[in-house]
Structure 1
Amino acid sequence: MNTKMSVLRKKAMSLPLLPGVYIMHNKSGEIIYIGKAVKLKNRVSQYFGSQNNHAEKVRRMVDNVDDFEYIITDSEFEALILECSLIKQHTPKYNILLKDDKGYSYIRVGVGDWGKISYVLQKKDDGATYIGPYKSSYYVKSAVEAANKIFMLPTCNRRFPQDFRKGRPCLNYHIKQCMAPCTGKIKLKDYRESVEQALDFLKGGSSNSIKQLTAEMEQAAEELEFERAARIRDKINAVKRMSDKQKVVSNKVLDQDVIASFSNDGKTCFQVFRFEGGHLFDRESFVFDSGDSDSETEEFILRYYTIRNDVPKNIALDRDFDGAQSVGEWLSQKRGSKVNITVPQRGEQAQLVSMCRSNAAEALAQQKGATVREFGVLEELKDTLGLSKLPEYIECYDISNLAGAENVAGMIVYKNGKPFKSGYKKFKIKGFDGQDDYASMAEVLTRRFKDYYSADDDSQGFGKLPDLILLDGGKGQVSAVKQVLQNMSINVPLFGLVKDDKHRTRAITGEGGEIAINSKRALFTFLSKMQDEVHRFAIGYHHARRKKNTFKSSLTSIDGVGEVRAKNLLKYFRTIDNISKADLAELESAPKMTKDVALNIYGYFHPQSEDENLADNI
């Protein structure tokens, strides 16, 4: 907590209600944040009030503020221009800073007769042929991948002709995406022809490529080279299929940029789709710490077009923001003509924005080791239960016993929508004997959160608070555990998973009643799998304990073997089978074993041998 908060707030409350730029400094005098405001007093005072509504990034920034200064401007637009200039000059730590790493890309044709086609970000003096430069790495990568597939060119690391016949063809050969020169059966003439056709495709586009290939096919047919004509025909069909996949999104799509974002757990990803002539010709993705959501879109747009010289005529966004008018004016000035900023609500433009946002979610999910589908079902769970944040870390509990015997519990963990098996835990119920699922669940959660308060590391295991707790059971289990959480001051959402007569997940229950999930297919499948997994884990532990105790009971039936000695024997020999196969000397060497008891154990598993030993003794 910033000790100067009251002083800073008092200073902020004295600011004028005028547009301007504010500059935050830390104790070293370093500029750590620059912002603009229509009314300086209202905006700056928000930072030094209650911190509950601020994002983590903003709270960190405020904790480091030692002082601030401000510059009054005549208008919001002037404040925006000044803000952009100052941020570019000082690059403050807590502003959105985007690197201008949009280098040029090249198409590379390898050295030699069997050279391969690839895309690279740098041109080297290595004797290879380079085509370019191109501004869009996305376009070059997509085009080269398409050309290699259509013309069945190799993309592996094998070198030709050195690696001829040194291994089997890879999967690409079997799915007809590579002619497999590695087999040594491809003529150099045919390979070079495919390379030249691929380069014509990359240089001239699909329509020119089809025209040229068609002419070559007709010429081959006239010369009665029907096999070659058939191969060219297949390439024409492949080009057409690829063209259909990469066809114009719509004739109504303007030359424009589409910008959308997705935020979760302190991170935000902005995705930019760039369209030209109805084609998606480039896309970019940026991930950074989340800040103030109200101004984040505005700040991103300003930073993005500061590092980009080409501003499109139209920009479609997934949300509106307060400074849209002044930002539009700034972009129009930068472009030299009017720029239209829209937030489409329906039609194809809205679909493009939705697609862009889905890609932003996918990019953020991949950073967290999840997929957009897994993030999607977590979003659905969040909305269904009315949670304040995405439940990325979920703990689920189940009780297992047989008529009150061997009463145990299992806890499983789902992290980012997937089982996190290193987080699984087993519990043996210790507080009582007999069957009481409510008391068992209460005991397990009490022990779990006692460990939470005593844990040193708060990033994993019992030292980490879950985002959501699910119980295999109904209102009774939820009520029992709710009391535990309240007594221990644990503020974590709690719900139960209710099953039907056929032991299938039917609904989620909480204090407010049951929530049906049958109509929500993805969520239903997700929770059903989770409930099946925790049941499997708990009952597996129960069966293991029953089996172990069954073994123990068989040992305790031997004269001289009690609970402690049976436990020591199992610990020493690990299994009953090993005990039964041990000779007398091995049994005598076990911890805390006497010769008489060892003889009793040996005789129990070898009754005939014992009679022989007795006869020998007589």
Structure 2
Amino acid sequence: MDKHTKAKLFPKEPGIYIFYGKDREYLYVGKAKNLRARLLSYFRTSTHKTNSKIRSLLSEATDIDFTIVSNEREALLLEASLIFEHKPKYNVLLKNAEYYPYVEITADEYPTVRISRKRSRTNSKYFGPYTSVGFIRNLIEFLQQIHLFRTCQTTLSKVRKPCMNFHMHRCLAPCRKNEYINPKFYQKMAIEPLIEFLNGKTEKTIQLIREKMIKHSRILDFENAAKYRDMLFKFEDIMARQGVVVDQRYNFDVIARKSRTYVVFRIRGGHVISKLVYELDSPFMRNFLFNFYLVQKNDIPPSVIVERGVKHSVLGDKVYVGTPRDDVELDLLKKAKENVETQFSIRELNKKTIQQMAESLKLSRLPQHIEGIDIAHIQGDTTIGSVVVFKNGTPVKSEYRHYNFGNRKIDDYATIELLVKKRYSKHPVPDLILVDGGLGQLNSVIKALRFLNRNADVVSLAKAQERVFTRHGELNFPQKSLILRALVRIRDESHRFANTFHKKLRTKKLLSSKLDQVPGIGPKRKKQLIEAFGSLDRLRNASPSQVAQILKSKKLAERIFSYL
């Protein structure tokens, strides 16, 4: 039965409809008050003449189907759920300017807390998105000291004894074999207060810290009183870095739009916890609200502040979606509008630069996906390679990767060849590969790609006078050139990423060699200390009691400090 004939048989009920491709993949999901009337509208001659997207959809679709629901609200939620799960080709989808991180609380018997960029586990609870991974790390570290939830990824049944977090009073350690922790107790003490905090109700956590500080001060336990005082200072420092601070009672989102660019401020517990930038192929705020809250399944606050009221809000009657009601909301909307103007200008400039780059560098295609590669070592010691990823002029940090080549004594050209082979034997090549260096580095990348039988445009950028090399020869750009500035930005980011990781490895190596000198520190204890402190400076700044808790030996802790 052809699609048009099938559409005539659809019921006149509310529901959702699906267009399928030849492999039963979802091409489009929609909702309708009257399924038959909506589907037949796709086959009208007038629709075909004016809408190329519908013409393309009908030519590609091989089948259609429907699901009847009770009301329009149910249809809206089912539509959102199917779009989130299948990401159909022809649906208008929200595009992140960056891949924003979330706090994930797993659905395990004893849930663990971690940072996640992909919301792939359907049973987990996600909070966010947040702008900065660093902010979330600091926040989780702070909250773990108070609520004692676990952050390990280990299967608890396989754990023989608690890790350092238990000994440093940062985890209830449900992995303990000699003491049973009731799952309900763990949920109540560790997880429920965390969820409450992440939902913006921060007062109880702050009040708990204050009470503990006062309690220890009254019994003259000044060491622990100082610990809780420092926690309060740390919380204030973490939140102050996020910028705007208003009354703790405020929990709302602010959304501003410029053309098809959107900026979202998320205010929780009186703090702006994230500033998010998105693109949506629609200038209608209602479509953005549907995608951001229902399709993306982000938590919905009591209020969403926008420049103009939205008729028939998709968020339901209990959520206020409208213009500012006081000076605080008005001020934050103004800031969001300033941000969206800037972000829109940046995106337009990125599109212009990408077009100019393709023409000036004589590239075979638009460089919408660029990967920058670099290597770092000291005289062949601890050689590492780095790959950074930029899409449409924006760094995608979740796709950055390090490659460790150990202490192999090979020259830079051979290392670049190894890096390219290792990277692109498993990953698709980008539109453009940018390598830090000159003509030799360029040729090394080209040689490795030929070995893999892969094809991509390649450019190298030498630090001396910022000279650019391509397959067609050397190019010189003015220092103020948008193309040169874009290439330098990617080159510098790959250099930073490589050197940061290299420094981290060298720091661990230094700590490891220092611990080798201490009698009584074998491989197992050395590993414990490296995992706990990471660097020689952090170990030196730790107290003997902290080290003793990890090693279970006060004498050994004192011996370590005598060698440092």
TM-score by length of 2: 0.38
- RCO higher in structure (CA 8 A, sep ≥6): 2
TM-score (norm 1): 0.36
